[in-house]
Every structure is written in structure tokens, then in C-alpha cells.
Structure 1
Amino acid sequence: MYCPNCNSENNDSAKFCKKCGTPLKKEVSHKKIINSINDEKSSKDDTTKYIIIALIIIAIALAGAFAYIGFGNHNDDGQTQVQNNASSSPNPVQSTQSSQPQQSSSAQSAAMDILGGSFSTGSSLSAKTYASIYVGSQHSGEKVIIQIKYSRDGSSLNNGNMVPKTVDSSGYINVKSADSFKYYPDFAEINLFDTNKNLLDTQSVSLSPDSSTQTF
């Protein structure tokens, strides 16, 4: 090591110049400086390399995740399409059943007949006339329209309104006259219709012109 003041040669371990006493500083060789710079650069390069590798791994993982999600959605769409096709395809059993003729309400009611019944008139002319028409308990709950025209000596006593009714649990249709009559009726015409006003049955009944209950 040389003294920077007097240029005298000293031992490398000396702290002061043996000739002039100037403090000596250890010189760092140019080679050591270059090596230090290279080491620092190498460390930075390694860090950059690790960051790039980490980013590549993350990108690959994200790509795999998106691919998996896309494949799952594709399968779901395929299953949905299959289900839609299955639901839109005609069921041969259902088609066979639907192709069979169904009995209309008119056809069902066509078998309904007037089988009997009774008329009741009050003890005074101010009372209304009640009719109970029997069609059979098998028609219980069915809806019908009934019309009863009353007359006396050939003269009409009422307008014969068409009245919607439901057959009761015993198979009877019960209906009363809208108004009281001026005379006791001696004749009644019963007309039975389905809900579409198709005539199902008709029957004429002769009555005794007095206050009583009469069956037919």
C-alpha cells in the first residue's frame, strides 16, 4: 500500500504512513468494485427472473380456471338444450291419449232425463209454487238450466224464465216460481237444458188446480 501523501510504500495492514504519518485508507481494488457491481446486477436479474416466472405461473393458472369455467358452462348449455328438446318432443303416450275423443259436456248431459218429481202450491194464491224435479243421483253436482211454464185453462201464468241450477246430492233440481200466480195452475211444462242451452228433456204434467203437493 502506498501513502497518498509521500508515496512511500507501507504494509497493507498499516493504518499510518511510516514515513510521514499520514492516515492510510484501504484501497478497494478495481476488480473488487467490478465484482460487487456484477453481484448486485446478478441479484437484480435473479429477482426479475423470479417475478417473471411467478407471473407466468399465475397466467397459466388463470387460463386453466377460465377454461374450466367455460367448459362447465358449455356442458350446462348442452344439458339445457337436451332437456328443452325432450320437453318439446311430443310424448307418444300423451299424444295417443289426447287424440282419443273426449266426451263433451253436452254429450255427458245428454243422458240426463226427467225421471219424476213433485209440485207444491201454497195454501193461498199469494204463495209461490215449488217444483222438485228428479234426474238421478248420478248427476249430482252437474249444472243445468231449467224452465217451467205454468198455465191455467190454456192461459199462461208466468213467463217461463230459464233458471241456472245445480243438481243436489239426492239427484233433484229444486226451483220455485218467480211470482205468485193469480190462479192455481192446472198444467206445467218442464224443459231441461244443459249449460249451453241444448234441450236435454221435456215433460208435460197435468196438475190439480188446488193447494197441495202433487207427484208425477
Structure 2
Amino acid sequence: MKNLASIAESVAAGNADVEFYQIFSFLSPINEEGWPFALVFLAVAAVCMPLLLGFIERHMRIGNRSFKGIAGQLNSNFVSTLVVLLVFAVIYELWSLIAAGLIYAVVLILDGPVCLALAVAVLLGMAALISYLASLLLLWLPSMQITGYSFMDSLSYSNQLYVPNRGKLFLAVFLPFLAGVLLQFAIVAVSPTEIFRIPAYIFLELIYLVLFLYYNSLMYVAYFDAAGEERVDLKKKFG
């Protein structure tokens, strides 16, 4: 959060005088201070996501919101979820490294408002890139868990579903991601003193939580829509 505050202060001051580690620490959770929390998150997500996705799928298929029997999804979905999580984590870390390097190169080469404008443009471009990659793989996990196909067969099938829907899937990934980034800057920028640090930290964590839940839901909503699967949860029930 300190690195984010430094970046926000630089932006507010109209310059982009930041260091590489500050940029990388903002983009990547696996950094000098945050890596233990990132590992804990991966471990928790690997356990919770199969349960969450199983709940979402059952709700969509039969309209049931009960948690009864949901623990059984951990056995059937754990390995596939873990593999996809690790793939996404590796892709995101490589993206963070490249994005931080490009932005820092801009900071080293240019000065003043031009530097700031180009750095923001690079950040937006890289955000669009990671959103595109995420949207490309968005249907992979639900395809694997619903059809029972192998990793590569599911990837091939999900790509077939993705192609005719790529525009709206990209926007569904990109816009919330961009909003999350902007909200982080806004929250830190308006929390300059120590007394606001704890509320700001809570709001930042809420942003991460909301995005996590959103993207998990989006995977199955997008898959059901792309595959033409019937959603019972959308049907009105009359007593």
C-alpha cells in the first residue's frame, strides 16, 4: 500500500517519478512485502474456488442455493482449479514484470507531463493485453469441469466458444479490471494520513474480493451463454 501511495502522490503531483520496484509491487502481489499473502491467497483460492464454482453451477442448472453437498465439489474440481490458477498466476506475473519494465523505461527516458501521459497509456495498453489473455482463457475452467474433457481438449473447445463472443468477453474482463485499478488509486489518493490507512486498506481488500467473486461468476455465466446451456436460475418460480 505504501508503494501505491507513492505512485498516487506522484500522479497527483503531475509527474511519474517512481522506481521500478514500486511499479512492480503495485502490479504484482508477489513482491518483497506481499508474497506471503499472495501464497496464502493462492492456497485459499485453490480450496474455495472449487466450492464456489460448484455452487454457481448447481444454482444455474437447478436454481438451488443450498450449500448441501457442495463439499463434494472439492474432490472433483480441485486439480483442474489448481492447474488453471497456477497458469493464470504465471501469466500474470510475467505480465507484471513486462508492464513494470515498460512503464519504468518511459519514466527513465521522458520527463514531465509527457512522461506521465505515456506511462498511463502504457498501463492502459498492458491492462488491455492482460484482459485479452484472461478473456481468452476465461471459458477454459468451466469447460473442463462441466464437460469432463482433458486440459487440452477443454482449451480447444473453450476457444471455439470464445471466438464468436470475444468482443463482449473482453469488455466483461477489461472494464471491471480497469475500474478496480482506478478505484485503488482514488482510495489511496484520498487517504493521505495514517488515520485513514486502515479504512483504505479495508476498501482495497473489498475491491479484490468483489473482483474475485465477479470473475468467478463471469466464467460460468459466460460459459452457459456461449455454449447455449439452459439456465434454470433465470426462470421465475411461482408458488
Q: TM range, normalised to the smaller chain?
A: under 0.3
Structure number with higher relative contact order (C-alpha < 8 Å, ≥ 6 residues apart) = 2
User: Which is greater in Rg?
Assistant: 1
